[in-house]
Structure formats: C-alpha cells, structure tokens
Structure 1
Amino acid sequence: MIYLFGYLVAINLFGFVLMGSDKARARRKKRRVPEARLFLTAFLGGALGVLLGMNRFRHKTLHTSFRVGIPLLLMLNAATVAFVWRLLER
C-alpha cells in the first residue's frame, strides 16, 4: 500500500514539474515538452499533478484536449487507484 502511495506522489509531482518546465520553455522560446509526454504522464497516474500544474502555471488551459482530457484521465486514475486499493486490501 505504501508503494502505491509513493508512486502516486512521485508521478504527480513529476507531472506538476513537467507542466512548469514546459511553461518556462515556452516563455524562453526553447524546445518544448511534447504534448504526448504530458498526456502519458497523466495517463500513468499523474493527472492530478498535471491538472494542478495547468492551473498554477496557466499553461495549456485554452487547449480543449487538455481542458477535457486531463480531467477525464483524473477520473480514470481515481477509478484505477480505487480498484487497486480494493485488490490490495484482500
């Protein structure tokens, strides 16, 4: 159970930092983080971190794919965690 919690903290922190990094790169006109990497991070459990990063850094908030996709991935993440949690409690 502790490993699941540690993984979720790490992947969400990574997602948050990744959004901040991409925003900083955009401002400096540097090479950007691919959107696929942001979505992959969200899919792998980091949707909350990506969503918080979107709002904190005001980044990708006008993109419909992010405004809709990230909250949907957050719901998928929550359902997956609930499922795994129940499996581990048995």
Structure 2
Amino acid sequence: MWPLLAMWLASVYAVASVVCYMVYAVDKAAARRGERRIPERVLLLIGLLCGWPGGWLAQRRLRHKTAKTSFQVKFWLTVAVNLAALGWLCWGY
C-alpha cells in the first residue's frame, strides 16, 4: 500500500506544483504589464492544495511575492497546514 500511496502523492504534488508555478508566472507577467492580477487567495489556495513547492520555486525564480510580508506569512501557514494534513494522511490513521 505505501509504495502506491507514495506514487500517488508524488504525482499529486508534481501536477499541483506545475500548475501553481504557472499561475505565479501568469500573475508576475500581469503585474509587469499593469494588468488585472490573480487574487492572492487563489495563489494561496493552489499552494494549500499541494502546489506549494511550485509556489515556493516560483517565488524564488521569478522574485514574485517575496517582499510582501503578509503574503509570506499566509503562504507559510498554508504550507504548515498542508504538511500537517500530509502527516495525518500518512501516519495519523
């Protein structure tokens, strides 16, 4: 069971991370052009739904949302919640 669960979780995180990275990139491009932005709650929700590794990578590579302290606090809270849920899923029941 564990190898199957691990493969499934890795796939979910990989897909969600790619999606999250792309959404951050779209938001960064919109910011540069002065166009309508993607709401922060959407970025945070995608991160919460297993996309946070891609969001973290996008923040570093694109230098996007790194200076806004309020966003960073919320981002890391969603990471903590996601990891707590992962821990519960893997070891809690």
TM-score normalised by structure 2 residue count: 0.80
1:62-77 pair list within 5 angstroms:
62-77=67-82
Offset of residue 4 of structure 1: 2.1
Structure 2 unpaired stretches of 5+:
none
Letter of the 2:61 partner, please give it.
Answer: R
Q: Distance in 2 between matches of 1:65 and 1:49?
A: 19
- The equivalent of 1:12 in structure 2 is 17
Letter of the 2:49 partner, please give it.
Answer: L
- The equivalent of 1:43 in structure 2 is 48
Letter of the 2:79 partner, please give it.
Answer: L
Runs of 4+ in 1 over 6 A off after TM superposition: none
Offset of residue 86 of structure 1: 2.6
8 Å CA contact retained: 1:51, 1:71: no
Letter of the 2:83 partner, please give it.
Answer: A
Offset of residue 77 of structure 1: 1.4
Q: CA RMSD in A?
A: 1.7
8 Å CA contact retained: 1:12, 1:47: yes
Aligned residues: 88
